[in-house]
């Protein structure tokens, strides 16, 4: 019987829920969690070498290390410490029994809670309550010596603990071997956005070592590209992404230098690509997938299309030629610009400006953060060329606005 297209509610629910776990693009969701620890840390080899140098004696029975890692949000402080602890345990497995514990001091914001977390990692059945700080520290010493282990204690966001409890715990941890012959029971890694050395007492700074400060800078575009590429390889279905798309993502996140931002952008693009899938969709990330998510983010520039309204008509023609190509491709060369600019000028019956003038327009677009440029070697290694991309705007939207403005200017 004809049913006018009516379907049972259970059928409708089944259809829309079919997307869950479909995996057209996303193969491994875990890769996009901020807590995910990759098999290899990319984009930070120089910092890794510097950190390893702070622990150069850890292979010996009495060796230990200490370091303060600082830097802005998303620069990789936590993943640097976690991968170091994992890798050093494997590297010295045949020489020394090394254990590590990572305590987030935002969650354990007092010195008492921090020690309790450390003990719980070492001995899960250890009582959490009813013991003084002195008794807890004695338990810590006893357990470490009994197991003949070396413990690396990582205190993440340590400034939260310092504000509430001061730095006495740091002093006690640094003195943990004083009542025995020998040394090398414990290493200490402090992580903070702030310059914590400024708030530590002289005695603590003396024991930490004022030179044991590792300051991490924000990621460059290349570093963000390496991170996004790694997550794409590990987390996406092969063939659903391209190096050009990943580079565009990195350039979009570059103003923040934040690894979490590029991971968030990639994850959002994947979600949008998954959302639009049907039997006729191209199952790969596109330029629109990159730009449309997170449009309300305070770091997204593309919502302000009026940014181009004060350009002169000739600059608009050059920008329109860029937009038309970048709607379909992730990047283009400066040579492409002039060829397409000639086509646009013919369309609008305007005389082309000189090469020098076009180059000045491109530099102006870059200063306004409308486009981004990078110099790359031409395939085959003969010469170099400049590649242009538009990481902060959706080219299709910008193109529509330019066509509207140019129509008013030339009517």
Residues 145 and 273 in one domain: no
Work out the average pLDDT over 340-368.
93
> Mapped to the 3 state alphabet, what secondary structure does 109-169 carry?
CCHHHHHHHHHHHHCCCCCCCCCCHHHHHHHHHHHHHHHCCEEEEEEECCHHHHHHHCCHH
Tokens of 185: 């029971």
pLDDT tens for 108-145 read 989 999 999 999 888 888 877 778 888 888 888 888 87
Work out the average pLDDT over 202-215.
84
Burial of 181 (0-12, 13-18, 19+ CB in 10 A): exposed
Say yes or no to pLDDT of 363 above 80: yes
More reliable by pLDDT, 15 or 194: 194
Residues 120 and 142 in one domain: yes
The answer as to whether 187 is a domain residue is yes
Residues 180 and 81 in one domain: yes
Work out the average pLDDT over 334-347.
93
- Residue 248 has a pLDDT of 92
Residues 187 and 50 in one domain: yes
- Residue 295 has a pLDDT of 43
Work out the average pLDDT over 18-22.
49
Give the domain-ending residue among 240, 265, 300.
300
Question: Which CATH number belongs to the domain containing residue 180 in this structure?
Answer: 3.40.50.300
Give the domain-ending residue among 300, 335, 353.
300
Identify the domain containing residue 167 by its residue range: 45-215
8 confidence band (pLDDT: 50, 70, 90): low
Contact 261, 253 (CB under 8 A): yes
Residues 291 and 337 in one domain: no
pLDDT tens for 293-317 read 444 443 444 457 788 999 999 999 9
Work out the average pLDDT over 157-168.
90
Taking every pair of Cα atoms in the chain, the longest distance, rounded to a whole number of angstroms, is 91
Question: Which CATH number belongs to the domain containing residue 268 in this structure?
Answer: 1.10.8.60
Say yes or no to pLDDT of 266 above 90: yes
């Amino acid at each position: 019987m004809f049913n006018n297209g009516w379907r049972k509610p259970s059928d409708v629910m089944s259809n829309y829920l079919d997307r869950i776990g479909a995996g057209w693009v996303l193969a491994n969701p875990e890769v996009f969690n901020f807590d995910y620890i990759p098999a290899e840390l990319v984009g930070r080899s120089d910092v890794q070498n510097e950190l390893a140098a702070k622990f150069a004696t850890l292979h010996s029975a009495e060796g230990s290390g200490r370091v303060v890692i600082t830097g802005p949000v998303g620069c990789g402080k936590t993943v640097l410490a976690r991968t170091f602890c994992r890798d050093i345990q494997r590297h010295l497995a045949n020489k020394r029994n090394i254990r590590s514990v990572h305590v987030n001091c935002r969650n354990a914001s007092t010195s008492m809670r921090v020690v309790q977390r450390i003990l719980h990692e070492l001995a899960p059945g250890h009582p959490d309550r009813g013991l003084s700080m002195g008794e807890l520290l004695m338990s810590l010493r006893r357990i470490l010596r009994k197991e003949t282990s070396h413990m690396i204690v990582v205190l993440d966001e340590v400034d939260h603990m310092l504000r509430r409890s001061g730095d006495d715990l740091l002093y006690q941890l640094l003195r943990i071997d004083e009542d025995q012959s020998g040394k090398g029971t414990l290493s200490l890694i402090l992580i903070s956005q702030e310059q914590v050395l400024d708030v530590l007492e002289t005695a603590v700074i003396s024991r930490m070592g004022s030179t044991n400060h590792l300051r991490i800078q924000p990621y460059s575009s290349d570093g963000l590209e390496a991170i996004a590429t790694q997550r794409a390889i590990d987390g996406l279905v092969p063939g659903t992404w391209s190096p050009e798309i990943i580079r565009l993502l990195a350039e979009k996140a570059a103003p923040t230098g934040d690894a979490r931002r590029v991971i968030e952008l990639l994850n959002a693009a994947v979600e949008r690509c998954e959302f639009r899938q049907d039997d006729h969709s191209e199952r790969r990330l596109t330029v629109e997938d990159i730009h449309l998510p997170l449009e309300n983010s305070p770091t997204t520039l593309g919502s302000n299309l009026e940014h181009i309204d004060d350009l002169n008509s000739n600059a608009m023609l050059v920008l329109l030629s860029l937009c038309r190509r970048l709607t379909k491709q992730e990047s283009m060369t400066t040579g492409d610009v002039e060829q397409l600019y000639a086509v646009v000028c013919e369309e609008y019956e305007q005389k082309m400006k000189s090469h020098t003038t076009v180059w000045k327009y491109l530099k102006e677009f870059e200063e306004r953060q409308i486009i981004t440029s990078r110099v790359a070697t031409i395939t085959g290694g003969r010469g170099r060329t400049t590649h242009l991309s538009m990481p902060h705007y959706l080219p299709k939207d910008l193109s529509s606005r330019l066509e509207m403005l140019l129509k008013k200017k030339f009517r």
